[in-house]
Amino acid sequence: MFIEPDERDHQIRRKYNKTKKIGEGTYADVFEGTEIATGRKVAIKKIKLGKSQAGGANGIELSAVREIKALRELHHPNVIELLDCYSYRGNLNLVLEYLDSDLEMIIKDKTVIFESGHVKSWMLMTLRGLDHIHRNWIIHRDMKPNNLLVAPDGQLKIADFGLARDYGDGQEKNMSSQVVTLWYRAPELILGAQQYGAAVDIWSVGCIFAELMLRVPLFADESEFVVLDKMFQALGTPSEEDWPGMSLLPKTFKFKKYPKPPHLFQAATKAAIELIDKMLAFDPNKRVTAKEALSHTYFKAKPFPTHPSKLPKYSRPKSDDKHKIPARYYSSSEDSVTSSPAPTAPGGSGVGLPASSSVEPSSSSSSQQLSSVRKNKRKAEDLDSLNEDEEDSEGIRDQYQDQVCQEQRGHDNISKNRKKRPRKRIARILNYSSSPNVSE
């Protein structure tokens, strides 16, 4: 039986009960809720239409379009699940799994002691989820610890697909290099590459791997070129032989030469060092893939990965009401690429770390950094808007524009002061069919 979009939205909305607001961002609010039939806790992300400032499709934030598009294609235990979508009162609502902690929280919790099996388990789940994403020809473009959410049963789930892009359709497309949080950004992106692939995600995962071992970010700074210099200090400055084509990148310059030093991860096993070296290869063509990484001897050697249910969890202080839910649920696309708070080196880590890796920016510099990041994010969205493939640009913007025009023509008799609800363009996102022959 065919069901009109408005009625379908109403049926979906009645399945859930909102309990309280638990987060607010520039373009979305997030609510805690429950699925009435099962009592399951969910997160309901309400996207505020008409708020978009960068590349939005007629008021729908581009990051929301990307997130829905990606999550409808991805179904894996290590990727956050989109349970439902519906429109209500002119807003788009995403119903997601409720996950109240992330890997960054656990890394920063100094009451938690990491064992080799713990790190191995988190890396295994991250790579399994990322392999599934890449198998579906999607690049995440913002892999970092606080986009890795942790379920109560210990399962790690990749979240925040607001910067995700399709790739690998046989055509080389220009994409923005102003993506990925700076501390986890691949060197080719820092040097302005506009044609790249899944290897940018692998570099980010290599940085996460290092952070799990060091308990602080590996390449932390506010400046792209200081971050690049730290890469060269830690890994040695690459030559043209090491990285063919490096000298042709738009922002390349004469780099200071650093020899490759003894490895930072003095307490790590040989297999762990070998895997992280393959992830942090300067040449993206030499980086290991997620599939290859999963087959590495690191995961087959003892100690074996800890079962997710036995992994350490974030010990939330009783007075901590500020982080009831990770910000990844509700941040805008421009907020999602901000750097994490400045790291402080843990006492007695027993792992070598360059002194320059710990950064303590002043409040004014942090404010300047956030402003700079937001400008870069808007620029990134604008660039990607121009570089979207035919499906994204015509299938989203042009169709939405046509629908909005039709909607406006059909409502000429409505008072000018009455707010028009953009149901048709929401229905397009939710994949509702206009055909009366389609059954529910």
List the chain domain ranges: 5-98+396-429, 101-386
The reported pLDDT for the residue numbered 405 is 36
The reported pLDDT for the residue numbered 22 is 87
- Residue 136: name the closest of 159, 158, 171, 167 by CA: 167
Token duo for residue 205: 């995962």
45 is an annotated ligand-binding site residue? yes
28 is an annotated ligand-binding site residue? yes
192 is an annotated ligand-binding site residue? no
Architecture of domain 5-98+396-429: 2-Layer Sandwich (3.30)
**Residue range 346-368: mean pLDDT, rounded:** 36
Grouping H, G, I as helix, E, B as strand and the rest as coil, residue 129 is helix
Q: With a cut of 60, say whether residue 129 has pLDDT above it.
A: yes
CA distances from 122 to 114, 276, 316, 317 (A): 11, 14, 20, 23
Buried b (16+ CB within 10 A) or exposed e, 294-314: bebebbeeeeebbebeebbeb
Give the model's confidence band at 173: pLDDT under 50 very low, under 70 low, under 90 confident, else very high: confident
For the chain, how long is the longest CA-to-CA vector? 75
- CA 117 to mean position of chain CA atoms: 25
Across the strands, what pairs with 230?
none
Q: Are 280 and 206 in contact (CB under 8 A)?
A: yes
181 is an annotated ligand-binding site residue? no
Nearest-angstrom CA–CA distance, 170 and 19: 47
Nearest-angstrom CA–CA distance, 22 and 179: 27
Grouping H, G, I as helix, E, B as strand and the rest as coil, residue 31 is strand
Segment among 107-111, 125-129, 423-427 with least mean pLDDT: 423-427
Q: Active site residue: 9, 100, 142, 384, which one?
A: 142
Q: With a cut of 80, say whether residue 172 has pLDDT above it.
A: no
Token duo for residue 164: 């995700």
Nearest-angstrom CA–CA distance, 103 and 105: 5
CA distances from 160 to 52, 70, 396 (A): 17, 10, 20
**Residue range 63-91: mean pLDDT, rounded:** 90
DSSP 40: -
Nearest-angstrom CA–CA distance, 222 and 53: 24
Query: What DSSP string describes 247-308?
Result: GGSTT---PPP-PPPSPS-TTS-HHHHHHHHHHT-SSGGGSPPHHHHHTSGGGTSSSPPPPG
In percent, the amount of the chain with pLDDT more than 90 equals 53
CATH number, domain 101-386: 1.10.510.10
322 is an annotated ligand-binding site residue? no
Active site residue 142: yes
CA distances from 191 to 38, 126, 219, 251 (A): 50, 26, 16, 5
Give the model's confidence band at 432: pLDDT under 50 very low, under 70 low, under 90 confident, else very high: very low
- Residue 277: name the closest of 365, 175, 362, 209 by CA: 209
119 is an annotated ligand-binding site residue? no
Residues 6+ apart with CB under 8 A from 157: 77, 78, 79, 80, 81, 97, 99, 129, 148, 149, 150, 151
Segment among 190-194, 265-269, 297-301 with least mean pLDDT: 265-269
The reported pLDDT for the residue numbered 100 is 86
pLDDT in tens, 130-159: 999 999 999 999 999 999 999 999 999 999
Give the model's confidence band at 264: pLDDT under 50 very low, under 70 low, under 90 confident, else very high: confident
Segment among 56-60, 101-105, 173-177, 353-357 with least mean pLDDT: 353-357
325 is an annotated ligand-binding site residue? no
Q: With a cut of 70, say whether residue 330 has pLDDT above it.
A: no
Nearest-angstrom CA–CA distance, 81 and 73: 10
241 is an annotated ligand-binding site residue? no
| Cα-based angle 411, 416, 418 (whole degrees, multiple of 5) | 80
37 is an annotated ligand-binding site residue? no
pLDDT in tens, 205-259: 999 999 999 999 999 999 999 999 999 999 999 999 999 999 999 999 889 999 9
- Give the up-direction half-sphere exposure of residue 368: CA atoms within 13 A in the CB hemisphere: 8
Phi/psi of residue 330, nearest 5 degrees: -130, 0
Grouping H, G, I as helix, E, B as strand and the rest as coil, residue 45 is strand
Residues 6+ apart with CB under 8 A from 248: none
